Amino acid sequence: MLYDYFSHITFANVWVLPFLILLPVIVWLRYSTAGSLKSSFTVSTAQQFKHRTAKTFFINTPFWLRLIALACLITALARPQIKNVQGRNKGEGIDIVLCIDISGSMLAPDFIPNRLEAAKDVAADFVRSRPVDRFALVIFSGESYTLSPLTTNYDVILQQIKSLKSGMLQDGTLIGEGLAKSVERLSSVGAKSKVVILLTDGKEEAPDTRIIDPLTALKIAKVKGVKVYTVGMAGTPDTQLNGGSVTSSSNLDDALLQRIGRETGGAYFRARDKEGLQIVYSQIDRLEKSSFERITKTKVEEQFVYLLLAALFFLFLEALLRYTILRTFP
């Protein structure tokens, strides 16, 4: 705790601090000239003066108290301060839904360490880079689910992204239901700009239980004025996954993803590795700009008053001892 306190101390008049070097000089002068400054007289024996009492042991205490007071005064003149910098972001953000595929194929290791982990890392960096936007998180595989509604609590979003893993939902790839769920999260908000970033590595696999197909979800997004950026993850073809073979390029439905991006006013991007995925998100970041300003306020807490009070205390204590129990003659 004490370390944290002193680590935040700065000095407004730092040029005063070198005067502290005078303190050891004063000590040296004190003890080097002490003998010549003392009075002397002749006695028949010095035996009685060899007996040391508590008074003789503490006889130099007033000098050290005055030295400490001087150190406090010099440090106080340097004006120690604690600066508390507070900042907040003010502006008009964008409502963004991160719609992420967590199907079993997202464990393919053509992205390091695998597709899902790479997608999580890049998505988290994207959230951190946009300080005034609201984010929601939707996941899908054989079904879709909202992990987080729209919020500006970035700690919550980042924690949810970090917790993503394949197997949280029934396996499969229902792009339409993932997109529809994302649009649903944006349909009731009044933001000027509504964006979905849909990331997948596969194509629609339609079981009998499917409710919304991709083209229907596309129409809903257009009606609701939601812009969709689709991102296809596909690295090296024929990547081995759990003893099987995953042909990355053939699993992507490029035509569908391109259509969704084009008809909603967004775009389609293809990422072949983690670096490529980072470039994709940086391109989306440039396309969807938020207007905001960073407001910074610095609060300065002066600490020199405590040093002045300490100096007065030590001077008072020095005078009290010097003229009472440690008084010397002449």
Q: Which CATH architecture has domain 94-289?
A: 3-Layer(aba) Sandwich (3.40)
- Choose from 73-87, 199-213, 265-279 the range with maximum mean pLDDT: 265-279
Q: What's the confidence (pLDDT) of residue 38?
A: 56
Could you give the 3-state DSSP secondary structure of residue 21?
Answer: helix
Q: Where are the domains of the chain?
A: 2-34+51-84+298-322, 94-289
Round to whole Å and give the CA distance between 80 and 133: 39
pLDDT of 119 over the 80 cut: yes
Round to whole Å and give the CA distance between 153 and 177: 26
Instruction: Give the pair of three-digit tokens for residue 137.
Output: 């998180």
* Apex 76 CA angle, 73 and 82, nearest 5: 160
Distant-in-sequence, close-in-space partners of 229: CB < 8 Å, separation ≥ 6: 195, 196, 197, 198, 261, 266, 267, 268, 269, 284, 287
Q: Mean pLDDT across the stretch 221-230? A: 94
Q: Sorting pLDDT into bands at 50, 70 and 90, what band is 69?
A: very high
Q: Sorting pLDDT into bands at 50, 70 and 90, what band is 278?
A: very high
pLDDT of 126 over the 60 cut: yes
Q: What's the confidence (pLDDT) of residue 5?
A: 65
Q: Sorting pLDDT into bands at 50, 70 and 90, what band is 32?
A: confident
pLDDT of 51 over the 60 cut: no
Q: Mean pLDDT across the stretch 146-159? A: 93
Q: What's the confidence (pLDDT) of residue 61?
A: 85
Q: Are 136 and 152 in contact (CB under 8 A)?
A: no
User: Considering the entire predicted model, what is its pTM?
Assistant: 0.61
Percent residues over pLDDT 90 in the chain: 47
**Furthest C-alpha separation in the chain:** 120
Q: What's the confidence (pLDDT) of residue 10?
A: 85
Q: What's the confidence (pLDDT) of residue 245?
A: 38
β-partners of residue 138 are 99, 146
Q: Are 114 and 211 in contact (CB under 8 A)?
A: no
Average pLDDT value for the chain: 83
Percent residues over pLDDT 70 in the chain: 80
Which residue has better confidence, 27 or 183? Answer: 183
Q: What's the confidence (pLDDT) of residue 328?
A: 66
pLDDT of 205 over the 80 cut: no
Q: What's the confidence (pLDDT) of residue 239?
A: 40
pLDDT digits (tens, 9 = 90+) for 251-262: 889 999 999 999
Q: What's the confidence (pLDDT) of residue 86?
A: 64
Q: Sorting pLDDT into bands at 50, 70 and 90, what band is 304?
A: confident
Cite the DSSP H helix spans in 163-238.
175-187, 214-224
